Structure 1
Amino acid sequence: MALNNLFVLVSMVIVCLAPGIHGNGHLSFSNIPGLQVNITRAGCGVTRVCVDQLVNCNSSMEGSCLFASLEVTSRTAPNGSVLDITMQGTAMANEYIAIGLKPTTGTTLVFVCGRQNEIRFRFFTRDLNSSNSMLEPSETITTQILGNITGDLIQCQFTVPNVNATEARSADNTFAIQLARGALGAGPTGPVGTFNASRTTEPLNLGDPSSTVPTTAAPTTLAMTTSSGPASFIPSASLLLWSVLALPALLRM
């Protein structure tokens, strides 16, 4: 009887400490007091790969489109690499934002930051079934999970250890990145339905951000044009100088 009571007490403590986990031992939330989600473009293309939902999405940092950054912080053969991920976007109640890591061959790993109601943050990992685009339960180890909800904006950051795009002993950090949003299912089961990516990049080497094709291009500055009429003529400096020198001779003629 005493042993049974102890088991019940321990179970209650686990539920109270981690209400968002629902028994998923592969997930662990950050327990560092005062630590906040930090979303930034600092280091994009230098130490981290950054991806927007739309190329040239200038307002992505305000949350109107999805933004994600991925940084390889260490490599440990043969297990793979440690990958730090941040992500943000708009999500209403019972919606989620997600990022997928798609290797050249094999299963796409999907990480989901959800908003069950106005204030409750939820986190899930899923596998993407390539044959029908359905999200299926998975147990991808994910640590240091942090989430934040402010208005319509949802932000999250987390660490994925032992990331490897290949089954070979050497670490392979080449993935296509997929960004998506969708609806959360009822209860603790998480997202349901198909995974519809709004952005899929080409394969990117996450371990060498400077070698990848820029995933967020710089804004292009366009020349000013008029709606009608001939193009303006701007004389060169040499032509102006010739005109000044020739003017006295022309006046004497």
Structure 2
Amino acid sequence: MALNNLFVLVSMVIVCLAPAVHGNGHLSFANISGLQVNITRAGCGVTRVCVDQLMNCNSSMEGSCLFASLEVTSTTAPNGSVLDITMQGTAMANEYIAIGLKPNTGTTMVFICGRQNETIFRFFTRDVNGGMLQPSETITQQILGNITGDLIQCQFTVPSVNATQTRSADLTFAVQLARGALGGPNGGPTGPFNPSRTTEPLNLADPSSTVSTTAAPTTMAAPTTMAATTSSGPPSFTPSASLLLWSVLAFPALLRM
């Protein structure tokens, strides 16, 4: 009888615990002992699309800015494509780094690598609705994270990525990089999603879509450089050109005098 009562008690505990873990089934972590996150620029523009937050940052060593690479490993219509993503940047305790995939129309998918403290790595998926992060259950596999000092690194695989709801596979996304704070009742990210870098729409299946990075903003512009601009208005003349034009028009009149 005591054994039966113990069995019933254990069953009740399991049933009570089940709702607490519900919702994490869409995430699966790499379970290979000793496996390390591999962040590299090798293959950028050749086999993978790479995006930096700022120009001239050393993403492979220092983590002084956000860096992400995206590689399509297989494509199967209509399910979409398998996408391998690596990402790294600096993050303090209770902060995260994130990458967003924004289609031309529809929901932006966000993948978040968080640092709870010096040793605990957290991973979340979110959607962006009205600029705010919303819970989502985007299937993500082979999640692996590493924390070294202020540097956080992660890599993961997202199966069945598709920028359209039609049967044809589409991998055109604007890639967004962001930082933020962890919070909320369960330590997850909340609040607005504020990217510090957003690319133009890129075809992730085309590694040559790797884009040049943008320079960090400065308070003073260099006096010797000027950006070329285009205009739909009438053409303008420099003073020397205007003087030359006046001379050509006035010359026949002078001959008749």
TM-score, reference length from structure 2: 0.75
Tell me how far apart the structure 2 counterparts of residues 7 and 33 of structure 1 sit (CA, whole Å): 33
Tell me how far apart the structure 2 counterparts of residues 66 and 46 of structure 1 sit (CA, whole Å): 20
Residue 106 of structure 1 and its aligned partner are, at CA, apart by 0.2
Letter in 2 for 1:5: V
Tell me how far apart the structure 2 counterparts of residues 194 and 147 of structure 1 sit (CA, whole Å): 24
- Aligned position for 1:215: 212
Letter in 1 for 2:103: P
Letter in 2 for 1:136: Q
- Aligned position for 2:249: none
Tell me how far apart the structure 2 counterparts of residues 216 and 138 of structure 1 sit (CA, whole Å): 30
Distance 1:171-1:98 versus aligned 2 partners, 3 A rule: same
Distance 1:7-1:159 versus aligned 2 partners, 3 A rule: farther
- Aligned position for 1:33: 33
- Aligned position for 1:50: 50
Give the match's secondary structure for 2:186.
helix
Residue 196 in structure 1 maps to residue 197 in structure 2? no
| RMSD between superposed Cα atoms in Å | 2.3
Letter in 2 for 1:116: Q
| Correspondence 1:1-253 to 2 at 5 A | 2=7, 5-6=10-11, 8=13, 23-54=23-54, 56-61=55-60, 62-129=62-129, 131=130, 133-210=131-208, 212=209, 214-216=211-213
Tell me how far apart the structure 2 counterparts of residues 124 and 22 of structure 1 sit (CA, whole Å): 14
Residue 72 of structure 1 and its aligned partner are, at CA, apart by 0.4
What 5-or-longer segments of structure 2 have no aligned partner?
215-257
What 5-or-longer segments of structure 1 have no aligned partner?
218-253
Per mean C-alpha deviation after superposition, the further-off stretch among 188-197 and 68-77 is: 188-197
Distance 1:11-1:119 versus aligned 2 partners, 3 A rule: farther
Tell me how far apart the structure 2 counterparts of residues 215 and 97 of structure 1 sit (CA, whole Å): 20
Tell me how far apart the structure 2 counterparts of residues 159 and 23 of structure 1 sit (CA, whole Å): 18
User: Residues 149 and 155 of structure 1 are in contact (CA less than 8 Å); yes or no, is this contact kept in structure 2?
Assistant: yes
Residue 85 of structure 1 and its aligned partner are, at CA, apart by 0.2
Q: How many residues get paired?
A: 208
Residue 4 of structure 1 and its aligned partner are, at CA, apart by 5.5
User: Residues 22 and 188 of structure 1 are in contact (CA less than 8 Å); yes or no, is this contact kept in structure 2?
Assistant: no
Give the match's secondary structure for 1:5.
helix
User: Residues 50 and 215 of structure 1 are in contact (CA less than 8 Å); yes or no, is this contact kept in structure 2?
Assistant: no
Residue 188 of structure 1 and its aligned partner are, at CA, apart by 2.0
